[in-house]
Structures are given as structure tokens and as C-alpha cells.
Structure 1
């Protein structure tokens, strides 16, 4: 499969399904399949699955670069959870709103995240509906990949648009609409209300658990495609967000002990496409046909083909001790400092990597007073040793959480960690209304069953 294939089969967004045809849908890409001929063969299903992968990066609907795991999920998680560790100095008012926690209901990045997420979900629904067209030998793998994509996207959506699992009652709090079958025409039944946070998490866990059981350990396309380890790694994140520490620990331990991945010897190699496939569990493949990735666009300096928008402050850099190579993995242009994680304009975007799994296992073992796989101290020092940081002689929960922050900086986990630990963003509590994105106004206007999040008009 080639991740750069642009595939438009059906419109997947809730809003586009409920409105008149958008003019850009009148243009049929040369690499698409006519709807009347679609999903008649296994090859058709395979192409649709390729389109779902492409939806995680840049789709034809992405007018504002809101390309999900190609950048938007990450920078929203970081900027919405930022307390001036960085400064957003760019001219994009939509992203500045995210950084300032003043997102409006008309914000187009927010709109396109919703739009592209449901478009991608609908592609997976089409794949899952056509599994009988797939040979028995390939059916499980294809189903597993589609479920992985759908589960991973719904997890990001419920974190962005719903209250945190530990904020009130998940069985009552509004999440996002669950759409689990293909939508090819519009009727009153297609106007979906928001499912509860608990219902969305249940679906996410169902998709990812089935994906882990169905997927192989490796794919011929490499770490740009879902594998058993990728499903387990995202499951570890989901369980951690739910504070189901035993399940999170066990999922992370399955990834570590699978032997399919290993830490890179040098921290800097993790962000070099030529050397990083040992550690990356899942990534978004970027090609020159796709264009640049959003992480490079917003986080990299101008000399590194970026816009130089996200500027790292000394307040954050000072968290690294002397000798820690992560504390020097920055570059300076003019008077501003930038992370060097995304210097490659066409570099693949890491989604989840092995270092995170060691830190999940360390944290959950610490919370549970267990040592499944290794002691928390051993796991933390494994990560620190790779970074040439001085080993610790003892750890507590705060030390492990700090290690997550140092290791995973700018990779999209900031807000999720603050929310699950009931922390604050500066003086803003983890459960503040403005740390949850608004349902885009065009969705509210179109679908009268949708209820807006508190704090938004």
C-alpha cells in the first residue's frame, strides 16, 4: 500500500452528510473509485483501507492542515495544555486561539479536525461493511487495521470534545456521536446525538482489543501500518486515561516483551527517518506527494523549512539536567528556540513509540506497588540512560511524571496527562470548560440533536 493514495469514496463527516453537496466533492480524483463500482472486490476494500490511512494524515478535505495524527491531534494536545512552556508566535489566529484557550465555535482548525475525523471513520466503516468481499486469508488483517484506525480516532475525539474520564460521571457526560456503519445517503436517522463518554470509551476498547487479536506482529509496509503492538500501545494509553492502571501496565508490558521493538541507542535517532523504525510502534508516513507534516510546519524553525511558530521557552528547557541530551535537542534561529524533533520537512510523524511504553509501565507499577516486567526505577533509568541523564537512585510518582514530560515533550500528550492526573494548566483546573473543544458551529447548525459543550455560546 502507498499511504499517499488520495481516496474519496464516501463523505464521512457528520456535517457533510447532513448538508448539500460541497462543491469540492464534485471533483472526482483520478485515484478514487466510482461509488457504483466500489467495494465489489478485495482490491476495492484494500484501496478504501488505504484511504482511511490517508485520512490520518492529509485528506482532500483538509483545507487548514488539520490532518489528525499528521499534526493536529498532537499540537492541539500540547498547545491547549501549555502554560507558556512555549509561545505561539505565528499568524494563524485559529491555532493562536487553541494556545490561548479561547477557541471559538467557528474555529476552522477545530471544524476540520471534526470533519476529517468523521470522514476517516466512515472509510473504516465502509471497509468493515465489505469484509465478506475479502479472502479469508486477508480478512482478519484488514478488519484489524480498520478497527485500529477507528478506535484510535474515536479516542482522540472523546478526549478533545468530551470531559475527562475522571471529571464527573462518564456514563452521563456527553462524548461524541458514534457512527459505526457506512453513511451513503441522508435521512432523519442519520442525525446522531452525542454518545456518552463511557459509551465512546467502550467502543474504543472494543475496536482496539479486537484489532490487537487480529493484527500480525509486523506489516510489509512497516510501522506506518497498524500492527498487534500498535493496537496494544494505544490500548495502554486508553487504559491509562481511564486510570485502569493494571490494564495499562499489562498492555504496555505486552508491547515491551513482544521483542518487536527496541530503543534507539541515541535519542536523536528517534526523529531520523533513516534510523528510527526500531523504536517507533506506529507513525504517519509523509511523502513528497503528501506535502509537509504539520509538526514541521509549526514546530520547526524557518531554516528547517518550518514557520517558526512554536517557540520553546527557557522555563521548559531548564527542566533538563546538565548532560541530558534531550535538553540540548533544540535549535536557535534569531532570538527564538525550537525543538529539533521535527526538523525534517518530509519526516514521518511519530504517533507512539517504545519509550512511552516503558514510562507507562513504570508509572502503573509505581501506582500499584508492583514490578511486572521491571521495577519502576529500572524502567525510568533505562530511558534516562539513553538520554545520557544521570541515573536516579529512587523514584516516586512525581519523578515518573516528570520523566514523561521530558521524554515526550511536543508529541501530543501534555493535555491528556494533565487531565488524567487532575492537574492544572497554570491556574486553570484540568476540568475547566475551555480545556474542552467546542462542537464546531456548523455541526450544531446542521444537526439539531447535538448539544454544545458548557462555556460556549
Structure 2
């Protein structure tokens, strides 16, 4: 690998103060060596919290375009814009526009664009938590503290490998033995020899092994902060990963466990996804005033009433999806028609995501009273996973129960009990009327802007189209003309690997820039993968 950063040398970390475990405070870690830091649980907490801050901190993953590199919510926005349900009404400053147009894969030679951004993000986090995990047998402190620190590190590594697989490989289902990404569990330094890409089966197997370790180590532990994992959020991540893999019983059981923590799935019309202390949140990040709230962040790209990016490049719901939301469904209020200053009506502008405590149009994002937490996982997602997996496991009564319960606070009188079956259309807009399709429709509505729509399209092995009738601008429609997003086998939604990795690691096979491989030097066929030089171990 060309470069793997140490949290101990590269970033100001966070520590949980002993007097107030509910509040995170900044504390620099660059004065303590990594080996010394991880001798004790005090240092272990500091390293863990520094890594967690890196998870949502913007500006460190690329050499440019940092304003669209804003952590998990930003990457989910990228994946949402690659689908059909979110409309980006205008280019604005250009942030996320090229993701929307599928015009990022050819920029793999630059350290300023998406390939480098995402690869560097996840592998840097992996490098950091590998050091923490590998200190588990020598770290001094109480068993409870060691388990808590190591359990969180395992969960972060599981998260990273799962999302690397979702981004840099084709769907797990149907491509289990195709190439994914390299796996590193040992401590690495700059100059550590690179590894070959493993298969989807190996990469997601590592993610599942890690999240199982996390769940075991976090059993019964009281979470110290919402940015940390506990047994419930770890089970939520396990459910998410297993669902993507098609391991439906595992996903079902993990989602049920996640809900036992008491997180709420009741609809709150006044909640605008800016507070991690909301009862629905299983995992998030609370941003305090001393950490700063600056413009390059998820909510700045979403909230049009705050001025800036969210105003210039508005995120809207597709007409197709909105037309399938019942008139009595309170979630219709997440999108509104708005008359713009130039007299043009902006159709279905989102209001779901807003800064809290705003002082009005254009109020300063540096105002310390402004609420702009990060939300990574909510209880309604778990309800939808239970419903979907129950349906797939021929437990339709249970599927009806969970979906009806979720919808009871959203659409009075909702009842899906008459629906049955698991048939889905070839395209996401081909309707079959099945129970599974209804569950997935409610998932598309509920998790709009939160999850990353393209990941679901991939795992469901469907294709999609965009049309003017949906509300997509002509550029977004034309962008797909030369692509094959109607084909589940396409590489269009598989990101290219950065050239820096290719140059430093001779064992890496590049992903296609186009829809399909054009030569023997790109693709995901293990037979095409470069072989190590004679006398060099893999």
C-alpha cells in the first residue's frame, strides 16, 4: 500500500472526560507514540475516539474537492444520487454533481476525486483500528474497558470492509467469487507490501467475523457516547451487512436484537435529522461547539433554507417515488413545492434534512447554537429489515406485523395484510404488487437520503432508468445513455481503484472505467489478477 496513516501521528483525537462521559472533547494525540498509547485503556480510548472523529471529519481524504468528502452521510448521499429516487436539480458548485452524472470513474489518476477519496478514507480507518485490535492482549486496564475499546474497533473495521465491498465490487449476491478489495488485519506502515484483491466472499466474511466479535465484546456494556457502538448498534450494522449479502436469517435476527435497545421507530414530524440525541438514533455523532460546525458537511448540501450548497444544488424527490406516497402519509411533508425568486417552481424540494436552531435564511453555519449532528443509523431501518427478511423467509404474518407497526405513526389506517409474495420487477419501476415490493417501496421512502440507494439496487439485482417525468434534469438523463444501469451485471456502479494504489501494488487488477471490461487488465475475474513475482509471497 502506498500510504496508511496512523491516528497517533496524523490527527487530533477525542477523549471521553472522566467527569462527563456524555461530552466529547478534543485532545491532541500527536505527542504520544502509537505503541505507548495502546499500552493502557486510557490511550486506547484516545485512539478510538480519534478514529471515530476521523469517521465524520471532512477535509483529510483528498488533495482537493474536500467539500464533498464529508464522511458517512456524504458517501450515502453519493450513493443516493447514483440511483433514481433522488433528483439533483442543478449543478450548483459542482459538489456531488459528477457522482450524479456517473462522471467520476475516469478520474482515478487524481488524488482529488472520488476513487482516491473513498479508498483512502476506509483504508486509513482500517489501518488505525488494526493497531487498536492488535493491542487487545497487551492493553492494560479493566476487562470491561478493553472489551469496549476492542469491540468498537472491530465494529469500525466491519463497517469499512462492508462499504469497501459495496463501492469497489459488484453485488455480493451473484458475484461471491469475484474480486473485491484487499484485506489487511495486521499492523501496517508506509511501505508495507500491498496485497491482492480478495473475493467478495472473503471480504464480507471478514466484515461478518469482525461484527460478530464486536457484538460479543459489547454485550451488556453501557455506551459512553452515541458515536460509539454498543450491542444494539453493532447488531444494526450486522443486520445491514447480512442483508446486503442475502443472509436473511442472520439479518432478521440481528435487526430484532438491535431493536431491543429501545430506540424509537415512531414518526416525529418535527425531527429534521440534525440531532443524534433523538430517540430513533442507533448510531450517530454529536457535534459540539468546540469541534466547530463549518459549511462542508452533509446538512449544508441538503438544507436549502441555509443558503449555500443546499440552495444552489437542491436535492429533490423523484416524481415517480413521491406519487406512490399515500396522501395520508405524514412523510409527504418531507418534500414540498417551492416558488423560487425567479418565479420557477422547484418541484419536491426536500425538507427532511435541516439544520437545527436556524436563525433564518443564510444564518451562519458557524453559529454555535446551530444543530448539525450526524445520523448514521436509525431504528426504522431495523423495522424494515425485519419486515423484508421475514417476507423472504416465508414468514409473511411477521412481515405484515412489522411493516404495519412501522407505518401506524406515518399513515393512519395503513394495512398491508392482504399483500403476499416476493416477486420484483426487472427494473425498479416495474411494479408487481408483491408484499416484498411494498416493503421495499416503504424502505425507499423512509431511508431517502440516509442509506445510499445504489446499494439496494445492486443487492436486489435490479436495473433502473431516469426520465424527465421523474423530474431528472436532461444532463442526468443523458448521462445514462451510454451506460447500462438497466443491467445488474454492469460495472457502472463499481468505482475504479485509485492509480496511487495500482502504482504501489502490482497485485491489483483495476475495475473497468466503462460498463464492462474491455481487456485483460481490468475486471473482477480472479483469473485475470496479476500474479506475484517469482519468490515473492502473496
- TM interval, short-chain normalised: 0.7 to 0.9
Unaligned 5+ runs, structure 1: 1-13
Output the CA distance in 2 between the equivalents of 1:339 and 1:69. 21
1:386 aligns to what SS in structure 2? coil
Query: Is 2:74 the counterpart of 1:72?
Result: yes
1:144-223 maps to which residues of 2 (within 5 A)? 144-168=151-175, 170-171=176-177, 173-187=178-192, 190-217=193-220, 219-223=222-226
Per the alignment, do residues 310 and 287 of structure 1 end up closer, same or farther by CA in structure 2, a change over 3 Å counting?
farther
Output the CA distance in 1 between the equivalents of 2:504 and 2:187. 19
Per the alignment, do residues 298 and 60 of structure 1 end up closer, same or farther by CA in structure 2, a change over 3 Å counting?
closer
Shift in Å at residue 265 of structure 1? 4.8
1:281 aligns to what SS in structure 2? strand
Query: Is 2:380 the counterpart of 1:355?
Result: yes
Structure 2-normalised TM-score?
0.73
- Counterpart of 2:97 in structure 1 is 96
- Counterpart of 1:134 in structure 2 is 140
1:4-19 maps to which residues of 2 (within 5 A)? 14-17=1-4
- Counterpart of 1:269 in structure 2 is 271
Instruction: Give the number of equivalent residue pairs.
Output: 431
2:148 aligns to what SS in structure 1? helix
More helix by share: 1
Output the CA distance in 1 between the equivalents of 2:274 and 2:349. 17
Whether the 8 Å CA contact 1:17–1:185 is kept in 2: the answer is yes
Shift in Å at residue 385 of structure 1? 1.6
1:72 aligns to what SS in structure 2? helix
Shift in Å at residue 164 of structure 1? 0.5
Query: Is 2:409 the counterpart of 1:386?
Result: yes
Whether the 8 Å CA contact 1:124–1:146 is kept in 2: the answer is yes
Shift in Å at residue 333 of structure 1? 6.6
Which deviates more from structure 2 when the two are superposed, residues 25-34 or residues 315-324? 25-34
Output the CA distance in 2 between the equivalents of 1:15 and 1:286. 32
Output the CA distance in 2 between the equivalents of 1:264 and 1:145. 28
Output the CA distance in 1 between the equivalents of 2:11 and 2:334. 46
Query: Is 2:341 the counterpart of 1:339?
Result: no
Shift in Å at residue 214 of structure 1? 0.8
Output the CA distance in 1 between the equivalents of 2:298 and 2:80. 11
Output the CA distance in 1 between the equivalents of 2:373 and 2:339. 23
Whether the 8 Å CA contact 2:67–2:95 is kept in 1: the answer is no
1:283 aligns to what SS in structure 2? strand
Shift in Å at residue 430 of structure 1? 2.8
Deviations 1:151-182 (A, max 9, x none): 011111110001101233x12x1111111122
Output the CA distance in 2 between the equivalents of 1:390 and 1:299. 31
Shift in Å at residue 268 of structure 1? 3.8
Structure 1-normalised TM-score?
0.85
Per the alignment, do residues 378 and 304 of structure 1 end up closer, same or farther by CA in structure 2, a change over 3 Å counting?
farther
Output the CA distance in 1 between the equivalents of 2:11 and 2:508. 28
Shift in Å at residue 311 of structure 1? 2.5
- Counterpart of 1:56 in structure 2 is 55
Whether the 8 Å CA contact 1:151–1:207 is kept in 2: the answer is yes
Shift in Å at residue 399 of structure 1? 0.7
Per the alignment, do residues 285 and 447 of structure 1 end up closer, same or farther by CA in structure 2, a change over 3 Å counting?
farther
Unaligned 5+ runs, structure 2: 14-26, 356-364, 366-370, 420-434, 466-484, 515-521, 523-538
**Higher Cα Rg, which structure:** 2
Output the CA distance in 1 between the equivalents of 2:353 and 2:391. 32
Query: Is 2:243 the counterpart of 1:240?
Result: yes
Query: Is 2:487 the counterpart of 1:429?
Result: yes
- Counterpart of 1:312 in structure 2 is 316
Shift in Å at residue 318 of structure 1? 2.3
Query: Is 2:380 the counterpart of 1:370?
Result: no
Shift in Å at residue 319 of structure 1? 2.6
Per the alignment, do residues 455 and 304 of structure 1 end up closer, same or farther by CA in structure 2, a change over 3 Å counting?
closer
Deviations 1:2-30 (A, max 9, x none): xxxxxxxxxxxx43249xx9xx9699995
- Superposed CA RMSD: 2.9
- Counterpart of 1:405 in structure 2 is 444
1:133 aligns to what SS in structure 2? coil
Per the alignment, do residues 368 and 122 of structure 1 end up closer, same or farther by CA in structure 2, a change over 3 Å counting?
same
Deviations 1:34-64 (A, max 9, x none): 4375434332221111111112111662351
